[in-house]
Amino acid sequence: MNGTDLLVLSPLIVLAATAVSVMVMAAFCRRHGAVALMTQAGLILSLAALGPAASHAPRIVTPLLIVDHYGIYFTGLILAATIAVAALSYDYLERRARRPEEFYVLLLTASLGAVVLVASRHFASFFLGVELLSIPLFAMIAYQKRQWRPLEAGTKYLILSGASSAIFLFGMALVYSGLGTMAFDRIAASMARGPAAGPYVLAGVALVLAGLSFKLSLVPFHMWVADVYEGAPAPVSAYIATISKGSVFALLFRYVTDTGAYRDQAVIVILTTVAVASMLIGNLLALLQGSVKRVLAYSSVAHMGYLLVALVAGGGIAVEAVGFYLAAYFVTVIGAFGVVTLLSGNPEHGDTDAVEDYQGLFWKRPWLAAVLTAMLLSLAGIPVTMGFVAKFYVMAAGVSGATWALVYVLIAASAIGLYYYLRIVIALYRPVSERLRQVPLFPSPFGGATVVLVAAFLLLWLGVYPAPLIDLLHATAENAG
Amino acid sequence: MLAALIIILLVGGALAWPAQRLGEAWPRWVSLGVVALDLLVLAAIALSPGGQGPWLAQSEWAWIPRFGISVHLGMDGMSLLLIVLTLFLGVMAVGISWTEIGQRVGFFHCMLLWTLAGVVGVFLSLDLFLFFLFWEVMLVPMYFLIAVWGHEARYRAAIKFFIFTQGSGLLMLAAILALVFAYHEQAHIFSFDYQTLLSARLDIGTAYWIMLGFFIAFAVKLPAVPFHAWLPDAHTQASTGGSVLLAGILLKTGAYGLIRFVLLLFPHASQVFAPVAMFLAVLGIVYGALLAFAQSDLKRLVAYTSISHMGFVLLGVFSGSALALRGAVMQIVAHGIITPGLFMLVGALQERLHTRDMGHMGGLWSRVPGFGAFGMFLAVAALGLPGLVGFVGEFLVLIGTYGTHPVFAVAASLGFVASAIYALHLVQRTFHGETRGTEAVPDLSIRELALFAVIAAAVTALGLYPQPVFDLVSPALANAYQAGGLIMRLTRL
């Protein structure tokens, strides 16, 4: 390990150092504002370190990690999203939690896990990253330990996450027993050499995919998602939806491409089936939910399915499509959960997430309702939002790969999905409900309001003029080779 | 200059909204002013020389170079005609909503102007990505027009409208992408430019599937049976202004798309497909007319007549006859004036009687003679009385189609008979017969009288002298056939 290695790893190092510093500081000085500021400063520093790291990319550091443009792009997304979630959490925790400082340690550690994930090229770092990401999440979900819903959600996530870890550990072991290696590129080389990799290896690959599907809440491993989203504090739900799923998907993409698994017909069949089931079942389950958080949970199942379309289609355009889709999804979901967070101002109750609570919101709080409308239309893929360009990209990938069946299912699923997004949109513009009339207005705190407005601005700006991001992604994909 | 047409409407919408703070009437006047300004700019563009070929004006800016997407706007005679119709109906919609919309006036006019902006964008786009963007984005303000100011079952109707049009739109997006990638295989560049893609050489099988994607999206919007299920609900539940825009211009975007994209991009495939399309057209003509007859809700009745009338457009477009194609364009104009007129009449009646049920009307002629006179006039215009604009379009479509496909022409002329039945049925049950109710009902106000007079004048003028419309669109339609390489005898009317 030399100086350049340290330089390209500096975003991770800064992030880890920030987590430790925040922990030490929280032990001595219990001041929420100072801890939150330090967290933000560390995150921004880490983001700034991406620039020098990018100038030396791609570079393999130790057998475990690779810092390439692909990884750096997703690291940037993860760090930016962490900044947004930290800002949203500040007000939320200030009102509710008695000791909010440790939350930031958990947040930073989880993000460190996510960054490791997107840079990993080996089963060991892959597993480390997943655990580093998941374990803090148990505590983040159940951070309000005096309420039963977050506790229930945290326990569910703990058990199912543990089960999924066991599954892909077993899968990794099977692959290792068959091929004698855990590095992605060597797995690819071994699989390419042997005509048939043998049933154990294939089973291993399938188990790893199943474990990842748990984290991505793909059908048939989607059972936990609605309860956890509903029970978790709104900023944490945003975290699970964006950073946790985004980084795992980035890893899945790298895993499938680097190990050459996509050349295996069986793997493609599995992924296609999972994609079709996720798109349809996710959207169908979302249809009848009465809670905005549950709707967003099931819609995330469908969105992960849409992303799989790009993955199955493959080709150079798939990298760009995944990159754009995840960026759009991050912005949209943070905006949507941001509005939920801002409306959940009453510490006596759980989060404000019943659809009736939103009825007539536009006439009472026009800006928040307008932002939420834009976010929902983006999730539905309506133009002048990023969500549209993202869906365009995924469909372009699907068409270029001639995966017509998936494209048709995507179209049908999107049409179904429109219903529940529009149901919420319509509620916002109905006459003001009694429940909303009685709710006292909480002024929107500075941090949360900034996050929501920035998200809305990005959503429209990159929706109308996506060329800069597309060019960046095109360059990333070219560099990836 | 062309972009100004869209930007004026967008900015105008954003201004009309806060104008509400100055008073209820402000958004209305701002909207009228904005549309008038747009008309002036349009006139300036149309009259200034500098176009090439059929194009009166074009402009292009780079947008997403990675995929060869640009902001490419262009206007030929057909776009000009439809934009004039759009802005004309914009004025009508503002006028007829003057007293009907009493709540959230600023928001209403903003949505109205933004709908117009989206539709104008559709008529101007020469880049398929841009076209699709406008195609989808015009749904959003329209959705609000139905959902916020509509009638009793508005939420359901609005969602249904949105899902039908957006879902079919995605099929078109898949078709657009398939076309672009097919072109990429030949030329090794990405381009969404309409004029570039005209030169794509597709084998007939590929072209057929891609054409079908476009066709379904346009057929939903038109609407053609069996894709019409959204229309009766949306038209009935929308406020009067919304119905005017829906019937008058949103349906026309489907017809425009059929001519501009399906016929021009896929001349051979659409020829192969023509019998199916014409069958659907005839089905729509007869089915719409029969169902119109069965309605007791006045607005629903008018909605079903739309299906019947738009069937003639579909028939004319696919008949393969230049005469019938011109007839189809004429029918677009005719339907775009008469049906909004009928919706305005029904809306004004509903504002007074608080019902759309013909069972609760009857004998209205003696109580509100102004309504009776215009109702009678518009009803006979809808049934295609010679001398009025409705006749010109339907007659040309039928006579043109008779030359190429006599069976379809004969079947479609059954629709003529049915339309006479429903139109007279409407007049009889509403205006004649026993008087119900005794309370005083005010007749047409001066504002309404002026609006209906303008419509009546347009219906009569274009019915007696339709030549200006043909002169305007002939170069564009001639281009339609040359581009396809089809040998088509263009007889001057």
Cis bond upstream, residue A431 (ω within 30): no
Question: B309 near B357, Cβ under 8 Å?
Answer: no
Kindly state whether residue B148 falls inside one of the protein's structural domains. Answer: no
Residues of B in contact with A382 (CB under 8 A): 136-137, 139-140, 166
Cis bond upstream, residue B141 (ω within 30): no
Give the burial class of A468: count Cβ atoms within 10 A of its Cβ; 0-12 exposed, 13-18 middle, 19 or more buried: exposed
Residue ranges of E strands in A237-302: none
- pLDDT recorded at residue A194: 65
- pLDDT recorded at residue B484: 43
Question: A75 near A112, Cβ under 8 Å?
Answer: no
Q: Is A67 helix (H, G, I), strand (E, B) or coil?
A: strand
Identify the band that residue A148 occupies on the pLDDT scale cut at 50, 70 and 90. confident
Kindly state whether residue B349 falls inside one of the protein's structural domains. Answer: yes
End-to-end Cα, chain B, rounded Å: 33
Per-residue pLDDT of A310-333, as tens digits, reads 999 987 899 999 999 999 999 999
Which of A428, A411, A332 shows the shortest CA–CA distance to A377? A332
- pLDDT recorded at residue A195: 58
Q: What is the mean pLDDT of chain A?
A: 91
Amino acid letter, residue B475: P
Q: Find the CB nearest A429 among B63, B144, B177.
A: B144
Which of A263, A267, A260 shows the shortest CA–CA distance to A186? A260
Higher pLDDT, B340 or A478: B340
- pLDDT recorded at residue B480: 62
- pLDDT recorded at residue B490: 35
Give the nearest chain B residue to A402 (CA atoms).
B178
Q: Within a 13 Å sphere around the CA of B417, how many CA atoms are in the beta-carbon half?
A: 6
| Rounded CA separation B422/B301 (Å) | 8
A62 torsion bin: left (phi>0), alpha (psi -120 to 50), beta (else)? left
CB contact under 8 A, A418 and B139: no
Kindly state whether residue B357 falls inside one of the protein's structural domains. Answer: yes
Per-residue pLDDT of A410-433, as tens digits, reads 999 999 999 999 999 999 999 888
Give the structural domain span for B420: 272-493
Mean pLDDT of A339-345: 89
Calculate how close chain A gets to B471, using CA atoms only, in Å.
36
- Residues 426-465 in A contacting B (C-alpha not used; CB under 8 Å): 426, 429-430, 465
Percentages (nearest 5) of helix, strand, coil residues in chain B? 75, 5, 20
- A383 shares contact with chain B (CB less than 8 Å): yes
Angle of helix A292-313 relative to helix A386-400, nearest 10 degrees, comes to 30
CA dihedral (A56, A59, A61, A67) in degrees, to 10, reads 80
Which of A92, A43, A78 shows the shortest CA–CA distance to A339? A92
Residues of B with CB under 8 A from a CB of A: 63-67, 129, 132-134, 136-137, 139-140, 143-144, 147-148, 155, 158-159, 162-163, 166-167, 170-171, 173-174, 177-178, 181
Q: Which helix (H) or strand (E) holds A88?
A: helix A69-96
Reduced 3-state DSSP string for B23-59? CCHHHHHHHHHHHHHHHHHHHHHHHCCCCECCEEEEE
Per-residue pLDDT of A226-247, as tens digits, reads 999 999 999 999 999 999 999 9
- A470 shares contact with chain B (CB less than 8 Å): yes
Residues of A in contact with B144 (CB under 8 A): 429
Residues of B in contact with A417 (CB under 8 A): none
> What is the predicted ipTM?
0.92
Give B248's DSSP letter. Answer: I
- A382 shares contact with chain B (CB less than 8 Å): yes
Per-residue pLDDT of A356-384, as tens digits, reads 889 999 998 899 999 999 999 999 999 99
The tally of domains found in chain B comes to 1
Q: Find the CB nearest A418 among B66, B147, B163.
A: B163
Residues of A in contact with B162 (CB under 8 A): 418, 422
- A364 shares contact with chain B (CB less than 8 Å): no
Question: A388 near A382, Cβ under 8 Å?
Answer: yes
How many other C-beta atoms are found inside a 10 Å radius of the C-beta of residue B151? Answer: 14
CB contact under 8 A, A411 and B159: no
Give the burial class of B397: count Cβ atoms within 10 A of its Cβ; 0-12 exposed, 13-18 middle, 19 or more buried: buried
| Rounded CA separation B188/B200 (Å) | 12
CB contact under 8 A, A396 and B178: no
- A314 shares contact with chain B (CB less than 8 Å): no
Record the tokens describing residue B476, joined without a space: 């564009």
Give B104's DSSP letter. Answer: S
Question: B133 near B122, Cβ under 8 Å?
Answer: no
CA dihedral (A153, A156, A158, A159) in degrees, to 10, reads 170
Q: Which residue has the tokens 């909207």?
A: B31
Per-residue pLDDT of A397-409, as tens digits, reads 999 998 999 999 9
How many other C-beta atoms are found inside a 10 Å radius of the C-beta of residue A405? Answer: 11
Record the tokens describing residue B424, joined without a space: 């007279």
- pLDDT recorded at residue A272: 95
Kindly state whether residue B72 falls inside one of the protein's structural domains. Answer: no
Which of B460, B453, B181, B236 shows the shortest CA–CA distance to B347? B236
Kindly state whether residue B466 falls inside one of the protein's structural domains. Answer: yes
Question: A195 near A267, Cβ under 8 Å?
Answer: no
Q: What is the largest CA-CA distance in chain B?
A: 74
- pLDDT recorded at residue B56: 87
- A384 shares contact with chain B (CB less than 8 Å): yes
Kindly state whether residue B204 falls inside one of the protein's structural domains. Answer: no
- pLDDT recorded at residue A259: 85
Which of B161, B306, B293 shows the shortest CA–CA distance to B248? B306
Calculate how close chain A gets to B171, using CA atoms only, in Å.
7
Q: What is the pLDDT along chain B (493 residues), one digit of tens a residue?
A: 899 999 999 999 999 999 999 988 999 999 999 999 999 999 999 888 767 777 888 899 999 999 999 999 999 899 999 999 999 999 999 999 998 888 889 999 999 999 999 999 999 999 999 999 999 999 999 999 999 999 988 999 999 999 999 999 999 999 999 999 999 999 999 999 998 998 888 889 999 999 999 999 999 999 998 999 999 999 999 999 999 999 999 999 999 999 999 988 998 898 899 999 999 999 999 999 999 999 989 999 999 999 999 999 999 999 988 889 999 999 999 999 999 999 999 999 998 888 888 888 888 888 888 999 999 999 999 998 999 999 999 999 999 999 989 999 999 998 888 889 999 888 988 888 888 777 778 888 999 999 999 999 999 999 999 999 998 888 888 766 554 444 343 333 3
CA separation, residue B40 to residues A365, B1, B34, B144 (Å): 38, 12, 10, 28
Record the tokens describing residue A239, joined without a space: 């975290």
CA separation, residue B491 to residues A6, B333, B400, B403 (Å): 79, 21, 11, 13
Q: Find the CB nearest A395 among B63, B158, B177.
A: B177
Record the tokens describing residue B267, joined without a space: 């001349």
Q: Which residue has the tokens 């409705």?
A: B390
| Rounded CA separation B7/A130 (Å) | 49
| Rounded CA separation B140/B111 (Å) | 9
Per-residue pLDDT of A24-44, as tens digits, reads 999 888 899 999 999 999 999
Calculate how close chain B gets to A382, using CA atoms only, in Å.
7
Residues of B in contact with A470 (CB under 8 A): 64, 66-67
| Rounded CA separation A245/A212 (Å) | 9
